[in-house]
Structure 1
Amino acid sequence: MTLKVGDRLPEATFKTMTADGPAEMTTGDLTDGKTVVLFGVPGAFTPTCHQNHLPGFVEHAETLKDKGVDEIAVVSVNDVFVMDAWKQATNPAGNITFLADTAAEFVQSAGLGLGPVPIFGHVRSQRFALIVKDGVVTFQAVEEPGGGTAKTGAATILEALG
């Protein structure tokens, strides 16, 4: 199944780093009763993800929240320690939740997996962006493999929010 507008996010459990160490967060924990921007990247610290995709959301986090977004989250098929190191390296000022989809459970169940990709060695996430309201997808965009962030960047999400 490939996720589409009007679908509920599939149940999955992510890993996230807290002050007390690694913890779990489900899709329900992330989205119930909230408007969430969830974007997926092929890998933390990879060039387009690190230099282009994430920085746009860091830069526009307050504007997204002013438009009614309760939470901004990035997901990647990396371990929780890599995602936490990426968070520390990019200093998002607490505005973005970093989610590790360690075994690609979420991206595969949402039809947003990519690969296995030789450069990464296993299944990764496609580059995507979703607006989710109380667990239901209201906007979805997916980039072509190897493409940029024109469909899934913060500017496009701001436009979609009106």
Structure 2
Amino acid sequence: MIDRGSPVPSVRVKLIGADGATDTTSDAVLGSGLVVLFAVPGAFTPTCHVNHLPGFLANEAKLKAAGVSRIVCVSVNDHHVMKAWAETSGALGHIDFIADGNAELAEALGLAKDMSGFGMGKRFARSAVLIRDGIVDAVFVEDGPGVNASGAPAILMALEAARS
């Protein structure tokens, strides 16, 4: 797993926008300002769709007030699925979405998880990463089911603790 103080890896990803997907690199998306990257096992999957993403959308203003310049969601899904999820959830334009279709970023961050037992193949472990100007500041990985350590409330608490 990537450590605090490590630079964000540079791998090919697709950044989802209103007009579709743009080919870019992870360091180009995550390398400037204070970024919250949260990773989910799959778009539209129950916990991701009902608990994880909505928490970040609901707390967008609080995260921005805490100094976050960009909120980014990543999943090992193709860019068509990620765009549909961004639109359906109402998050497009509020949260940036990265499609990591081949799990290259998941692997590079050390956050890949084998979910073959659930018929999902290789996915991101449910997690969140705070990144300051391209350098990892903190990593939060869930140790069980549900959204606790990597949810928006936990990230807000971590940001508040860092300011103290």
Normalising by the residue count of structure 2, what TM-score does the alignment of the two structures yield? 0.92
- The equivalent position to 1:151 in structure 2, one of 149, 152, 155, is 149
- What are the Cα deviations for residues 8-50 of structure 1, in whole angstroms up to 9, with x where unaligned? 1111121123344321231221123311000000000011000
2:112 aligns with: 113
Distance 2:63 2:117 in 1: 35
Structure with the higher fraction of residues in helix conformation: 2
Alignment of 1:130-141 (within 5 A): 130-141=129-140
Aligned-CA RMSD value: 1.4
Q: 1:104 to 1:67 in 2, by over 3 A?
A: same
2:54 aligns with: 55
Distance 1:147 1:70 in 2: 29
- What 5-or-longer segments of structure 2 have no aligned partner? none
Letter in 2 for 1:4: D
Higher mean Cα deviation, 81-90 or 4-13? 4-13
- What 5-or-longer segments of structure 1 have no aligned partner? none
Alignment length (residue pairs): 160
1:79 aligns with: 78
Letter in 1 for 2:69: D
Distance 1:89 1:142 in 2: 26
Distance 1:93 1:17 in 2: 8
Higher mean Cα deviation, 32-41 or 74-83? 32-41
Alignment of 1:62-101 (within 5 A): 62-92=61-91, 94-101=93-100
Whether contact under 8 Å (2:113, 2:123) holds in the other structure is yes
2:121 aligns with: 122
Distance 1:104 1:93 in 2: 22
